[in-house]
Structure formats: structure tokens, C-alpha cells
Chains A and B, each alone.
Chain A
């Protein structure tokens, strides 16, 4: 997978992976938010399950 937004370092500015694909960056951010939300939900489920075992 070619993720590089540049073909030369000469005059390069934003050079991070997918820097030239803004829609993909938005999708990655949404995935990151989803990971956080999912983990918090999992945390709450773990607490509920633990509490029932007491």
C-alpha cells in the first residue's frame, strides 16, 4: 500500500501517511473515536458483570 503523499523530500510539507487523502483522515479519526467509545462501553459492561459476582 503506497501511503506516502510525497514523491520527493524537496519542498515537502505535510508528509504523514495519507496526508493527501482528507476523507481517509476523517475516517481514521472516526475509527479512533469509535475505539474509545467501544472501550468505555466494554469497561461499563465489565463493571456490571463484576458487580453481579459479588
Chain B
């Protein structure tokens, strides 16, 4: 009898080991594909920004976006992942965070660690998203070098500090105030939006955006269809982004705060949010660019409570966001003379604020695992933290860059077009490009 029992125990152990391995592999596979899907966000931002630029700036806008993506990957490896692990309590360094340092044994191939690499990858793509959010607003007049420095600081330092505070199982905003923001409306969208606002104040508007009497002139991009396809790609990529916001434990899904969740909940509310935002923006603008931006507004408006909203409520919250965000963009442009070329401050900054506040209004009372229940006060106070955490560094760093002459291109370069000034190839070499009329010689020393 004894040998049979021993054999049975050995089989049970083998089965348990196989089940644990399957769980580990499932988690790796899930986040691997979420990361891959998130790349669609960057393909989308690329198309959308190039389309929103005039022909003379199309490639420079695209290159700026791509270069930020390339720099964000090593930058996040060097400091970003460690910041996330180190600062959930505020500014004191958490014990054990050294595993996120770039020379740690966990920051490379390691048989005993199947998690660090995939989470680093997913967070890197979140980081690159923050840089892309800023990228569209500043097109057609920012220096690529200045933009790259800003993108690195936003993507590898600022947003992830916000994530450590409010999008982390032990983040102090949740532990002290009960913040609930499963879809990262605060640490990604609000922070990136208000960082961008700080930059735009120092950068100034494009030449010709405002007349001497203060009236606003439209500066249309050269390819609206490309922008629309880009926006649709961003929406697609959001399914990877939001998938990366949910934790796979093997037995069940949880939010990043440890509360139970299902992917079904995210599916219901993401789609209803997309629809609500699109319909709201269409209703108030009739503009296809804004209608598709409305899809982003919709996702962001519902992001904080994606795990708990009734789908009909998510639709209405996003519809309200879709109705108010274009109006706020109008106020920003007409009243405050902020030239946000694609409306990213409104879509992501104000959209993120609305998403956080809406969760306080419509989801108060839900319990948290660590910290008090969700409350209106907790959401409002956390929103203020995110707004300041985005705006202050964006304003200060861009002011410093401006002081060193690294923020804005010269007036001559802006008039000639940034492609002519900075890019050694032409976007449309076989078509008549107004920026090149009567002068085909490129002053670019790389040509």
C-alpha cells in the first residue's frame, strides 16, 4: 500500500507543479500580447500626429514621436521601474525596491523570475503613451532635442511617480484616501495632460495661430483621413493598455489594488465608454477629428471605474465627457490662447480629471483592500495631486529648456517647415509641396 501512496503523492506534486507552471506561462503570455497590442497606440499616435501636421512638418512630427518612443525604452529601464517600486509611500524609498535597479539580478533573464520582464515591458509602453500624449500638442514648433528631454522626464520619472502613488497596491493615495483608478486616468492621462499644459505655456502658439486682435485661426493638418485611422488604432491599442491594467493571479483577475475583477467588466465598460465619448463629441462638434478623439475621451472618462460601473452608466459618463471636453478645449484656445494642436490637454488632462471625479460621484462606498472605501473626497484630493504632479514639472522643465534655447525652433525653421530644417528626406517627394516651392535645395547638413 505504501508504494502506491507514495506514487500517488508524487503524481499530485507533479500535477501541482504543472499547474503552477501553466499559471506562470499564462501570465507571461497575457502581458506579452497586451504589450504587443499597446504598440498600436504608438502606430496610432504616429499617424494621427503626422496627419494633423501641415505637409511641411509631417515627417518631423512623426520622427519626434518615434524618437521619444525609442528613448523611453532604455530610460524606463534605467530609472522608471525602480521609481515605481521605490516610492509608493511618497518620497521615501521602499524596502526591497532595489530589485528594480537596472543592475539587479531581476532586471534580465532569470529562471527564478517570470514577472519582472513582462511588467517592465507593459509599464514601458504606458510610459511611452504619456510621451505620445504630449507629442501631438506641441507639433510644428518644438525642437526635437527639447521634446526628447521632456518626454524622457515625463515618461521615465513623472508619470511613474504618480503610478507609484496612486496605481500601486500600496500607493499612499489609495492607502490614505481610498483612490480608485483602475484604468490609470490619473497617473497616465491627467499627469500627461497637465504636464503638456505646462509645456505649452512656455512653448507658445504656432506662428499664425492667433491674429494680432486675438482672434483664432485654424491651422488644418494635411491629412485628416490619416489622423482618423490613427485615432482608431489608438482605440484598438487601448484594449492592450487596459488589459495591462488588470492583474492575472492564476486563480482569478484582480485590479492593481487587489480587488476582484473580471476581464468581462473591462470589456463591457471599455466599449460602452468608447461609444459614449464618440457620440458626445459628435453631438457637440460634428467634426470627425473630434468624434474620434471622443473615443479616447470616452475610455478615459470611464477608466477609473471600469471594473465596477454598470455599462449603461459608463456610457453616460463617457457621453458627458464627450460633450464637455471639446468645449473645454475651445475655452483653452479662445480664452487662454493655448495652442494645443490636437486637443490633448483637454482629451487626456481634463478627460482624466472627469474620469477620476466621476468615480467619486458614481462609485463612492465601494470597499478597497488597503485603505478606506472609495469616496468623493478621496477622488478629488487625488485628482489635485495628479494635476500638480503633472503641471509643475512640465512647466518648470520647459522653462529651463526655454532658457537654454532648447525648446522652440527658430522662426525661419517654422516658416520653412521642420521637415526642410531637420529631416534629410521628403514626405511627398513626387508631389508639389508648398514648403519647397522655388527652392529644392535642402539646407539640412545630413543630406
Contact yes or no, A47 B109, CB < 8 A: no
Contact yes or no, A16 B145, CB < 8 A: no
Of listed A13, A14, A32, A36, residue having the most chain B CB within 10 A: A14
In the complex with contacts A29-B102, A46-B445, A47-B422, A15-B109 CB distance below 8 A:
yes
The CA of A33 and the CA of B144, in the complex, are separated in Å by 18
Would you call the interface of chain A mostly helix, strand, loop, or mixed?
helix
Among B390-408, those with CB < 8 Å from A are 406
Contact yes or no, B103 A54, CB < 8 A: no
Residue of B nearest to A53 (CB): B443
Contact yes or no, A54 B148, CB < 8 A: no
Which stretch from B71-79, B208-216, B231-239, B376-384 is at the chain A interface? B71-79
Q: How large is the interface on B (under 10, 10 to 19, 20 to 34, 35 or more residues)?
A: 20 to 34
Query: Is B143 located at the chain interface by the 8 A CB criterion?
Result: yes
Query: Is B410 located at the chain interface by the 8 A CB criterion?
Result: yes
Contact yes or no, B102 A43, CB < 8 A: no
Nearest-neighbour CB distance to chain A for B290, whole angstroms, equals 33
Contact yes or no, B111 A15, CB < 8 A: yes
Q: Please, which residues of chain A bring their CB within 8 A of the CB of B413?
A: 50-51, 54
Residue of B nearest to A32 (CB): B74
In the complex with contacts A47-B422, A49-B445, A51-B413, A14-B106 CB distance below 8 A:
yes
Q: Please, which residues of chain A bring their CB within 8 A of the CB of B410?
A: 51, 54
The CA of A26 and the CA of B107, in the complex, are separated in Å by 12
What mask results when residues 85 to 127 of chain B are scored 1 for a CB within 8 Å of chain A, else 0?
0000000000000000011011011111100000000000000
Nearest-neighbour CB distance to chain B for A31, whole angstroms, equals 11
Q: Please, which residues of chain A bring their CB within 8 A of the CB of B110?
A: 13-16
The CA of A13 and the CA of B109, in the complex, are separated in Å by 8
The CA of A50 and the CA of B413, in the complex, are separated in Å by 9
Q: Please, which residues of chain A bring their CB within 8 A of the CB of B143?
A: 44, 47
What mask results when residues 7 to 22 of chain A are scored 1 for a CB within 8 Å of chain B, else 0?
0000011111001001
Instruction: Give the residue of A16, A44, A54 whose beta carbon is less than 8 angstroms from that of B416.
Output: A54
What mask results when residues 126 to 166 of chain B are scored 1 for a CB within 8 Å of chain A, else 0?
00000000000000000111001100100000000000000
Instruction: Give the residue of A15, A25, A33, A46 whose beta carbon is less than 8 angstroms from that of B103.
Output: A25
Q: Please, which residues of chain A bring their CB within 8 A of the CB of B113?
A: 13
Contact yes or no, A36 B74, CB < 8 A: yes
Residue of A nearest to B67 (CB): A43
Residue of B nearest to A24 (CB): B103
The CA of A15 and the CA of B108, in the complex, are separated in Å by 8
Nearest-neighbour CB distance to chain A for B134, whole angstroms, equals 16
Contact yes or no, A51 B111, CB < 8 A: no
Instruction: Give the residue of A13, A26, A40, A46 whose beta carbon is less than 8 angstroms from that of B105.
Output: A13
> Which residues on B are within 8 Å of A, measured CB to CB?
67, 71, 74-75, 78, 102-103, 105-106, 108-113, 143-145, 148-149, 152, 406, 409-410, 412-413, 416, 420-422, 443-446
24 contacts between A and B (CB under 8 A): A13-B112, A13-B113, A14-B112, A16-B108, A25-B102, A29-B78, A33-B78, A36-B75, A40-B148, A43-B67, A43-B144, A46-B445, A46-B446, A47-B421, A50-B413, A50-B421, A50-B443, A51-B410, A51-B413, A51-B421, A53-B445, A54-B413, A54-B420, A54-B443
